[in-house]
Structure 1
Amino acid sequence: MKLTEIPRVKTLTKEQFLKDYLRPQKPVVIENYIHDWPAYSKWNFDYIREVAGDKTVPLYDNRPVDHKEGFNQPHATMKMRDYVDLLLKEPTKYRIFLWNVIKEVPELQKDFIYPDFGIPVMKGLPMLFFGGRDSYTFMHYDIDLANIFHFHFAGEKECILFPQSESKFLYKVPHSLITHESIDFSNPDFDKWPALKHASGFRTNLSHGEVLYMPEGYWHYMKYNTPGFSMSLRSVARNPLHLSKAFYNVLFMRYFDNGMRKWRGKKWIDWKNKKAIERTEKYLQ
């Protein structure tokens, strides 16, 4: 894959962000943006265990999509204190995905400030993500194709991004938000997935306190090099094409896919994975 290092800046004004990154839809890492947040010094695993230890959290791992599972259905649950202990004790594939800060632990909202990048963020949807060493998310894009501000805390995380224009090379699964789940984007097998050699994207490693801006609808793969956690804030897609696709995904696609899983079962999953390969190979030819 042709991966370019994501540009890094120490800090960024609203005007610079709008001109250099939002309008051209380019990713950027801001290294010092949240140093004045209480969360910068407070948010670590001990603090999370203290304020949220009694909460039962949904857990996800890296197993392939199963036709018996609903959209974003968790694979297990655990008390947060036990999950944090597990993260720090040994590698685990279990991740926390889309955990709403305001809904679950309102007091955490006191530790951060909603940023002003010149576009409004959805204040009701600050989401936390946790992962153990070597756990990862499948390459995917978000259902609403939003602009994402990803604030990382604790440890180090590898991020690989692709714009929507590269979907044709990524073995995208139809009626889904993911690529073929057999692909290891941190170490791809180009003999098995030759189209990936033509894909142009971006990469970076995030450390504590750094902010990654992911433009609208960007594909993203996240791998935890160490145990860590992040918070995402999102802003509605501004591109009319992306906005219409977001409405389609939310109002039709996910319900259609769930319905087909129930009706056709494993055959539906197998058909989608087969089509992901066939369509990509056809494009190459």
Structure 2
Amino acid sequence: MKLNLEQIPREKTLTKQEFIQKYFKPQKPVVIERFIEDWPAYSKWNLDYMKEIAGDKEVPLYDDRPVKHDEGFNEPHAKMKMTDYVELLKSGPTKYRIFLWNILKEVPELQKDYTYPDFGLRLMKGLPMLFFGGEDSHTFMHYDIDLANIFHFHFEGTKQCILFSQDETKFLYKIPHSLITREDIDFTDPDMQKWPALQRAKGYITHLEHGNVLYIPEGYWHHMKYITAGFSMSLRAIARKPKNLGKAVYNIFVMRHFDNLMRKLRGQEWIDWKNEEAVERTQKLLLQD
């Protein structure tokens, strides 16, 4: 049995008014296929260009190993020069990814290659982030700490995206005091006998190609898998719903620090407890339904 996923709607292009009415107000995802063809980035940005313009930069790399108690928040698993990383990506499958790489800070000249689109939301102009991944690499199912509205612009290669709204959280085996689900769930081919609650979750799926823009509504869970090596850029706008804004403030100023403190005090026992609690809480919610 597979996940209950519907295809994300696709539009060739959208006006600001169409986007607000059809997707932002109802908080529904959409893929816009031909929105950035006037950007210099549309024709320039590929792995070779990134190697040329940022080859001497040392980049933080992450893979899919489980969270450990002695690793800090978003602490990288390895580092290498961008030149070497691009060569690694082109050589074949690798688990190594770059995420949350601020191009304003790292390679300011890349700013000339794109503009901030007017979707009717105020985009945070200090936070354009790049995400790279090798063939078959993937993120854990997670949602962003600030529950922002995200516009995800994809360059080079093909990427599979699976989304769930916050309403589906009770079926996803969320780890307490965290932003992820159980890391041992393979969301591309889940074991429904081991994770039966997933049968109840209703989500979305799409594949992104070069030049596509994916709108991820506030607080949506997302799982990204690179079918081929490639990269994307995210621009974000602050959550508008009071409930989501409240969650964002709590996550940033309370939850993250509490979790780090408990890792220091209880070590791996804390991580193990959270993983067990994710299953117990999900099963309890299922029984209540």
Residue aligned with 2:124, SS = coil
What CA deviation, in whole Å up to 9, does each residue of 1:18-71 have, x standing for no partner?
100000000000000000000000000110000000000000000000001011
Cα distance in 2 for residues equivalent to 1:185 and 1:283: 20
Aligned to 2:256: 254
Match of 2:56 in 1: 54
Residue in structure 1 matched with residue 239 of structure 2 by the alignment:
237
Structure 1 residue 128: deviation in Å?
0.1
Counterpart amino acid of residue 191 in structure 1 = Q
The alignment status of 1:195 with 2:197, answered yes or no, reads yes
Q: Any runs of at least 4 consecutive aligned residues in structure 1 with deviations exceeding 4 A, and if so which?
A: none
3-state SS of paired residue (1:67) = coil
SS in 2 for 1:233: strand
CA RMSD of aligned residues (A): 0.4
> Offset of 1:282 from its aligned partner?
1.0
| Amino acid across the alignment from 2:276 | K
SS of the aligned residue for 2:281 comes to: helix
Once the two structures are superposed, the pairs formed by residues 1-285 of structure 1 within 5 Å of their partners are 1-285=3-287
**Could you tell me which amino acid in structure 2 is paired with residue 20 of structure 1?**
K
**CA distance in structure 2 between the aligned counterparts of 1:212 and 1:90, rounded to whole angstroms:** 26
CA deviation vs aligned residue, 1:92-115 (integer Å, no higher than 9, x gap): 100001000100000001000101
1:11 to partner: Cα distance: 0.2
Structure 2 unmatched ranges of 5 or more: none
TM-score scaled by length of structure 1? 1.00
- Cα distance in 2, alignment partners of residues 158 and 90 from structure 1: 18
What fraction of aligned residue pairs are identical, expressed as a percent?
70
Per the normalisation by structure 2, the TM-score is 0.98
The CA distance in 2 between the partners of 1:156 and 1:114, in whole Å, is 23
C-alpha displacement of 1:85: 0.2
SS for the counterpart of 1:144 is: coil
Letter in 1 for 2:254: F
Deviation at 1:90, TM superposition (A): 1.7
Q: Paired residues, what number?
A: 285
* C-alpha distance in structure 2 between counterparts of 1:203 and 1:14, whole Å: 24
In the alignment, the residues of structure 1 paired with residue 31 and residue 66 of structure 2 have an alpha-carbon distance, to the nearest angstrom, of 31
Deviations 1:232-273 (A, max 9, x none): 000000000000000000001101100100110000000000
Letter matched to residue 215 of structure 2: Y
